[in-house]
């Protein structure tokens, strides 16, 4: 039974079904490149539209890092500092506080931004 579940999950990954998530693609450049190549070979659909959008956004970030490395570094630091402030705020708020869920969402979005920027650095430092 476990083998069957594992097979289904791995098959889904290899087919690119999971890779349709924009945030996942922005933090996994190799999977983004693979999904983009697959989309070049098939008719456009909503999954490929999301893959193409992610690829364009990632390429723009790579170009920004290449063209303005110091500004890109400052962008990372600024986003990390904001993430830290949101984390402090979350630690101070009880989960029952009315602002907790909104702050948690802001924290999650900020974490995604930082992870994306660091993925660009990792992808271009090889």
Domain assignments of the chain as residue spans, ordered by start? 1-64, 68-126
User: Are 51 and 35 in contact, with CB atoms under 8 Å apart?
Assistant: yes
Label residue 18 by pLDDT band (50, 70, 90). Answer: very low
Gap between the Cα atoms of 39 and 51, Å rounded: 8
Most confident among 17-26, 43-52, 113-122 (mean pLDDT)? 113-122
| Stated pTM of the model | 0.79
pLDDT at site 42: 81
pLDDT at 4 (0 to 100): 38
Give per-residue pLDDT as tens, 93-119. 999 999 999 999 999 999 999 999 999
User: Taking a C-beta distance cutoff of 8 angstroms, is the pair 31, 19 a contact?
Assistant: yes
**Percent of the chain residues past pLDDT 70, beyond the cut:** 83
> Tokens at residue 126, please?
């090889």
């Amino acid at each position: 039974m476990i083998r069957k579940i594992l097979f289904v999950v791995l098959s889904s990954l290899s087919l690119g079904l999971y890779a349709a998530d924009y945030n996942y693609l922005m933090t996994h450049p190799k999977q983004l490149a693979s999904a983009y190549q697959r989309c070049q070979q098939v008719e456009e659909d909503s999954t490929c539209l999301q893959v193409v959008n992610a690829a364009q956004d990632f390429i723009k970030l790579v170009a920004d890092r290449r063209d303005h490395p110091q500004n890109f570094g400052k962008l990372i630091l600024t986003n990390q500092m904001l993430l830290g402030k949101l984390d402090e705020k979350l630690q101070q708020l009880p989960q029952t506080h009315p602002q907790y869920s909104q702050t948690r969402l802001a924290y999650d979005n900020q974490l995604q931004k930082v992870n994306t920027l660091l993925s660009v650095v990792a992808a271009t430092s090889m």
